[in-house]
Amino acid sequence: MKFFGINPLKAAIVILMGVGVAACSQTTTKQAAQEELIIALDWVPNTNHTGLYVALDQGYFAKQGFDAKIVQPSEDSTSTLVANQRADFGVYFQPNMVKRLNKGEPITAVAAITQHSSAGLLSLASLGATSPTDLAGKRYSTWEDPVDDAVVAQVVGAPLNKIPGESTDATTALRMNQFDYIMAYYSWDGIHAKIKGVDTNFFYLKDADPVFDYYAPLLIANSEALKTNPDKYKRALAAIKEGYLYAAKNPEQSAQILVKHAPEINPELAAQSQAYISPQYLDEQGDWGRFDYARWDRFFGWVNDQGLTDKPLPPQAGVSNDYLPNPAN
């Protein structure tokens, strides 16, 4: 840049002062405009959450005016944090919503993180199971959700031989003979077992019955907050969608972003899991987040038929596509 008729040193000082003032002004304005956004995970960070970390890392939340924080729940479950408006969004699962909706908790599913469930039953190959029914009578690790247990009972056969407890490393727990099988997600636990070189069998629930191709995982929000401040949630979901679209198209880079923000994750597990799950984020039209209401209702219809609620869940109970950006966006 040339300065005509101006002392170069004075010009530089003036420019630097101007830039400094402008930068301070922009920073102050940006900070003042940013709104806190709390997103509660369901579990330890994994590739179900990659799009959230991408949105944080790539500035998509900031672009929408948010100072976003991704947190792990402690004693309170994700749904409780959302229901009490201590978190704006939570990562959750359609089956686990049943008892919450039955209690009247104000939660609504607002985005499907993946379009199809990778939930299934994981066991060591040495157990010798060649189908889910071979697991009948074996020790089943349960976190005692009645809907999950009812699903497993239908797939395996009742009664279940339950071993209550939680495990963040299903493969290790299986090898330590803590139980014989567990409901897990192939996108993480199944791939983790392969990386560890452990021979396992995995039976997808949706292969046993298509009704079990429910939405898991998904994002929930507070039903009342959605009504009072819809713009906030639409802007936030626009940022989150951008993060998951990036993750769908860039699995390798997205896995690196996930590990950057959650360095406790095995990079090889992140990379392989991301390669598997990235295509699962999108529907057949290449869009992210939308629910198929008919599929949603089929699973809740099964729940009603099993008598797992005090009163039947009505059509489209606890779900809405209304806060998602248009498919073209």
Q: Where are the domains of the chain?
A: 34-116+215-305, 119-212
3-state helix, strand, coil in the chain (%, to 5): 50, 15, 35
> What integer pLDDT is reported at residue 75 of this predicted model?
60
> What integer pLDDT is reported at residue 11 of this predicted model?
34
Q: How far apart are CA 140 and CA 259, in angstroms?
A: 31
Q: Helices marked H in 197-292 — which ranges? A: 205-208, 223-228, 230-249, 251-261, 267-277
Torsion angles phi and psi, residue 312, rounded to 5: -60, 140
Cβ neighbors of 239 (< 8 A, separation 6 or more) are 55, 60, 61, 63, 64, 66, 68
Query: Contact 250/277 with Cβ under 8 angstroms?
Result: no
First CA to last CA across the chain, in angstroms?
A: 39
- pLDDT, the chain, mean: 89
| 10-residue averages of pLDDT along the chain (329 residues) | 31 34 39 84 95 98 98 83 97 96 96 97 97 97 93 96 86 94 94 95 97 97 98 98 98 98 96 97 96 98 96 97 86
> What integer pLDDT is reported at residue 139 of this predicted model?
97
> Among 137, 126, 144, which residue's Cα sits nearest to residue 183?
144
Q: What is the pLDDT of residues 172-203, one digit of tens each?
A: 999 999 999 999 999 999 999 999 999 999 99
Domain 119-212 class in CATH: alpha beta
Domain 34-116+215-305 class in CATH: alpha beta
> What integer pLDDT is reported at residue 27 of this predicted model?
40
Judge whether 34-116+215-305 and 119-212 match in fold: yes
